[in-house]
């Protein structure tokens, strides 16, 4: 049985071995001369924005598993967890504002 994939490794466009790196522009050039760039800023921003929220929910709120079965029930459960998390954050912000107003 003949495979539809290229047998020769040098024919495979997506392999790193067939790419060249342009240090000046910080880009990879693949075998069919397309330039590939890696966007560092998006990944840096993700670490700042998203991951601490999951840590707060899992560690500080004690959430480690869903209590219901099924996608729709888990979606509802996750929504309630997020609402509770946001309300706790909102409470903290309002407490800070009240302290500033009293001073």
Kindly report the average pLDDT of the chain as a whole number. Answer: 78
Higher pLDDT: 26 or 73? It is: 73
Identify any residues that bridge with 34 across adjacent strands, giving them in sequence order. Answer: none
pTM for the structure as a whole: 0.47
Q: Which two tokens stand for residue 3?
A: 């495979």
Q: pLDDT tens-digit profile of 35-85?
A: 877 666 666 665 556 677 888 888 888 888 888 889 999 999 999 999 999
| Positions of E strands within 1-103 | 20-22, 27-29, 35-36
Higher pLDDT: 84 or 1? It is: 84
Helix (H) or strand (E) holding 70, with range, is none
């Amino acid at each position: 049985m003949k495979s539809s994939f290229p047998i020769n490794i040098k024919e495979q466009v997506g392999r790193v071995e067939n790419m060249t790196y342009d240090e000046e522009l910080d880009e990879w050039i693949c075998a069919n001369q397309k330039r590939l760039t890696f966007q560092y800023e998006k990944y840096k921003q993700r670490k700042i924005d998203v991951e601490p929220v999951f840590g707060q929910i899992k560690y500080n709120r004690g959430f480690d598993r869903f209590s219901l079965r099924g996608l729709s029930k888990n979606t509802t459960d996750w929504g309630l967890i997020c609402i509770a998390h946001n309300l706790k954050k909102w409470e903290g912000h309002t407490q800070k504002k009240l302290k500033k107003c009293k001073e």
